[in-house]
Structure 1
Amino acid sequence: MLQGGYQSVLEARSRDEFRSELTRFANDLDFERFSAILVVDRAMGSSEFITVGNTPAGFTSMFNDPRLGKKDPVMQHCKRQSVPIVWNQQTYQKHDAPELWEAQAAFGYKVGISLALHLPEGRHFVLGVNREETLPNNPVTLTRMVADLQLFAVHAVDAALRVLLPHPHAPGDVDAPRLTPRELQCLHWTMEGKTAWEVGTILSITERTAVLHINNAMHKLGCTNKHQAVLKALRLGLIR
């Protein structure tokens, strides 16, 4: 499950190490540009944005302008949904924002793939890769790219929370939650790639009960899906 490239981002211990892992991943996927944005919702409707990327200096002010973000169809998609978006010039034309695409295309942002993970406690993780060259026409190749980005994001979000957020928000600064033996068993078999039905069969419980244990573990660990829960449980030493 923890392949080399995904394992290494989990081990990032600083902002620079985290950025290096993002650079490596983007380059391996044949993208020149990348950005990871950790969003923390604050009181009175305000939000804090912490960005790690390789945005060109001349494009930084536009990239960080919240007013343009409200018009950007990619950012608006990520704000509202968790499914990835594969975008190009037509995406911006469809949403009446061709001038935004023209402006960013001059800096190499012509096509890309972006997604967001919406976490508990008003935290969000947005990850995107961008390039000038058109995306593959082969749907299998493109689907694999999207899947790689999704899998990397699930691994990267834990490192982002740990190295980008100050105390006391970093997950590593709090005591490990107390999971029941059944919850730990369900996470263990999930880590081994078993479905909820298979976990139930192994543990002699119903599929519905297995799902309940996994959901309880996710809630206690502050995660939004079972993959994040497995990764966090591994990092905290709850399962091996």
Structure 2
Amino acid sequence: MKWETFYDAMQSADSADQLFEIVKNYAHDLGFEYVSYVMSIPSLNGSLKWVRFGAFPDGWEQRYLAQNYAEIDPLLRRGVNSIDPLIWSQNFFASAPQIWADAVKYGLKVGISQPCWAAQGVFGLLSFVRSGPALTPGEISMLRRQLQMVTNLLHLSMYERVDVPAISCIGDVSLTLREREILRWTSEGKTAEIIGTILNISTRTVNFHISNVLTKLVAVNKVQAVAKARTFGLL
């Protein structure tokens, strides 16, 4: 399938299921038997809502969920910290050998996964997988270019069609003007002592406000608080 044809089909899709079907056909044209797309939607309390679309061998998804593999899956753990494609191999799954062993049993031996992000911290991961043959250097080079475009288009299209609640803290969490001000300075790397000097307040007062922010945002430290505040539109 040519890129122009694929793009037009994606733009014309009426549902999330249609989007996935188009991507599945695209993957088949590239020589992949199986396709998976997952999306994680964050919430303020740290929990994640997962949206999954899969075309895998019978029994694999049930096995994956029953074993709670999402908690240890290197694809998800490394994917959230990368924008580069992830090449499946025994070595890649070294931290979770039981996942690799089960995947091989189901014929999931050769794969490539592309992470991506949308607004509000919504993460996505698209995987093209087959039983064989191994990926050639030429294929990997081609897939590095194509898969990123396909994944970004799919993820943004899914984001518009899947029920992604507005992750806004207005009404859920309210930071005072002073708390926002201190958090902004914190995001720029300023210490409590320096912030106190800038705002003409004591270091103890700065730390008091920071403590309140950590509690409101359910954050374990200032770095996480800044990240959450940015994700939820509070900075």
TM range (shorter): 0.5 to 0.7
Structure 2 CA distance for aligned equivalents of residues 2 and 89 of structure 1 = 32
| Alignment correspondent of 2:49 | 48
Aligned counterparts, 1:14-53, within 5 A: 14-53=15-54
| Partner residue in 2 for 1:160 | 158
CA offset at residue 75 of structure 1? Answer: 2.0
Deviation at 1:8, TM superposition (A): 1.4
1:117 maps onto 2:134 in alignment: no
Q: Which structure 2 residues correspond to residues 145-184 of structure 1 after superposition, within 5 A?
A: 145-165=143-163
- CA distance in 1 between counterparts of 2:80 and 2:66 reads 15
TM-score of the pair, normalised by structure 2: 0.64
* Alignment map for 1:56-135 (pairs within 5 Å): 56-64=57-65, 67-92=68-93, 95-135=94-134
Deviates more, 1:63-72 or 1:110-119: 63-72
Kindly indicate whether the alpha-carbon contact (under 8 Å) linking 2:118 and 2:155 is maintained by their aligned counterparts in 1: no
Q: Secondary structure at the match of 1:34?
A: strand
Instruction: Give how far 1:127 is off.
Output: 0.7
**What fraction of aligned residue pairs are identical, expressed as a percent?**
21
Q: Which amino acid aligns with 1:149?
A: L
Secondary structure of the corresponding residue to residue 91 of structure 2:
helix
1:40/1:47 contact within 8 Å kept = yes
Give the whole-Å Cα distance in 1 for the aligned partners of 2:122 and 2:39: 7
Q: Is the 8 A contact 2:117 2:155 kept in 1?
A: no
Aligned to 2:140: 142
- Aligned 1:146-225 pairs, distance under 5 A: 146-165=144-163
Q: 1:75 and 1:66 mapped to 2: Cα distance?
A: 15
Query: Aligned letter for 1:105?
Result: V
SS in 1 for 2:45: helix
Contact 1:34 1:130 in 2 (8 A): yes
What is the alpha-carbon distance in structure 2 between the residues aligned to residue 11 and residue 36 of structure 1?
Answer: 19
Do the aligned partners of residues 11 and 109 (structure 1) sit closer, same or farther apart at CA in structure 2, a change above 3 Å counting? same
* Deviations 1:105-149, CA, capped at 9 Å, x for gaps: 122211211121122312111111111103333x23321022111
Aligned partners of 1:108 and 1:131 also within 8 Å: yes
TM-score (norm 1): 0.62
Contact kept in structure 2, 1:10 and 1:155, CA below 8 Å: no
1:17 partner amino acid: Q
Tell me the alpha carbon deviations over residues 47-102 of structure 1, each in whole angstroms, 9 at most, x when there is no partner: 0010112133411223336842232222211122111111122322xx23222111
- Aligned partner letter, 1:49: W
Describe the superposition over 1:165-201 as per-residue Cα deviations: whole angstroms up to 9, x where unpaired: 25768xxxxxxxxxxxxxxxxxxxxxxxxxxxxxxxx
- In the alignment, which residue of structure 1 is the partner of 2:199? none
Could you tell me which residue of structure 1 aligns to residue 208 of structure 2?
A: none
Q: Give ranges in structure 2 of 5+ residues lacking alignment.
A: 168-230
Distance 1:156 1:16, change over 3 A: same
Offset from partner CA, 1:190-224 (integer Å, 9 cap, x none): xxxxxxxxxxxxxxxxxxxxxxxxxxxxxxxx9xx
- Give the 3-state SS of the residue equivalent to 2:41 in structure 1: strand
Q: Is the contact between residue 117 and residue 124 of structure 2 (CA under 8 Å) also seen in structure 1? A: yes
What is the rounded CA distance, in whole Å, between the counterparts of 1:78 and 1:152 in structure 2?
A: 16
